[in-house]
Amino acid sequence: MSKHGKILVGMSGGVDSTVTALLLHEQGYEVIGVTLNILDYTYAESRVHNPCCSLDSVMGAKEIADFIGFKHMIVDIREKFSETVMEGFKEEYMRGRTPNPCIWCNAEIKWKGLIQTADEFGCEKIATGHYARTDVKNGRTFLKRGVDPLKDQSYFLWALDQHDLSRTVFPLGEMTKPEVRSIAFTRGHVRMANKQENFDICFVPDNDYRAYLKDVIPGMEEDYKGGNFVDKNGNVLGQHEGYMHYTIGQRKGLGIALGIPMYVTRINASKNTVELGEETDLIRNGMIVGRLNPMKYDQIPEMEAVTMIRYKSKGVLSQLKRQGEQLSVEFLANTKGVAPGQSAVFYEDDDVIGGGIIMESL
């Protein structure tokens, strides 16, 4: 009989999930390890070279489970991952947006798969190796930043709902990455302790999203090549390779020389135009955020908050105002590179108020 009952641990084969499982096992939980198979192994190894999805990582997770002494299984969610995350990635680029597929993979694929498996095996809780924390106030479970500012991953988890959060524990939320590696090393998992991290999109070969889109969008080059680069007044500056080749803030690889550094400032999918401007033209006063998910409060209130518009950004103090089902966000300091399709996450000190998708910049 275990001391704390059963807990399901998502295991990728990396050091973070390994230490998560190890710590919970040492605390007396009956650990069940699960690796979610989201890509064909041959695709992961031959095309994207991503260790998180390779057969080697899966077998590494199983070996760790066997060594420590708990059950491990593989759950196949390839079809749902393809339909939800990979198709969504393509569709967002076709809309002229810059998506972050990890957000929806966490909320729609990983957590749903883990919780469904936990229910099947009688586990009340699940655990992952993310660097984040949770808290409960007024009957609501919400995220807090991880204590390691270099590894805090709360930004990627804003779309988790109340049920997801109430079922989840984050054993690494109070730890730093060096501490986690040290635990793996001192427990004898030397190779795992030194394992390098991979930050690429797991299904995009060589992290080259343009090449990936060419593979999955028939006729992309033929249909969209030759659209116009324009300035902020609509004057034509030259022709581009197709609007989905570009992202907000991009400077390199534009294929056009105008004598001064130029950046992508806006993308218009319906007109197949890409607006270019100087660096100061990237500055925005605010944005509209939709697809909101409240966390700390039952709805995101009108208040001042720190807003992050990309992972590892410092965040900017902002005024949040309700606008129907969306938020109008006014930046209280100059902010550059606001990209529709990316996530905006709102913080009150270390607490996650909620988040959403950037719909347009202002």
Torsion of CA 326, 288, 200, 107, to 10 degrees: 0
Measured in degrees and rounded to the nearest 5, phi and psi for residue 319 equal -105, 125
Question: Hey, what are 311's tokens?
Answer: 């992972």
Which residues have CB under 8 Å from 357's CB, separation 6+? 289, 290, 291, 341, 342, 343, 344
Residues 133 and 148: beta-carbon distance below 8 Å: no
Q: What is the DSSP letter of 27?
A: T
Annotation says 202 is catalytic: yes
Question: Hey, what are 356's tokens?
Answer: 């959403």
* 267 φψ region: left (φ > 0), alpha (ψ -120 to 50), beta (else): beta
- Spot the catalytic one: 52, 53, 105, 123: 105
Question: Nearest Cα to 359, choosing from 262, 284, 271?
Answer: 284
- Spot the catalytic one: 52, 53, 102, 202: 202
* Location of structure tokens 């959060």: 165
Annotation says 105 is catalytic: yes
* Structural Rg of the chain based on CA atoms: 22
Torsion 59-65-67-70 (CA) sign: negative
Q: How many CB atoms lie within 10 A of CB 253?
A: 9
Active site residues: 105, 202
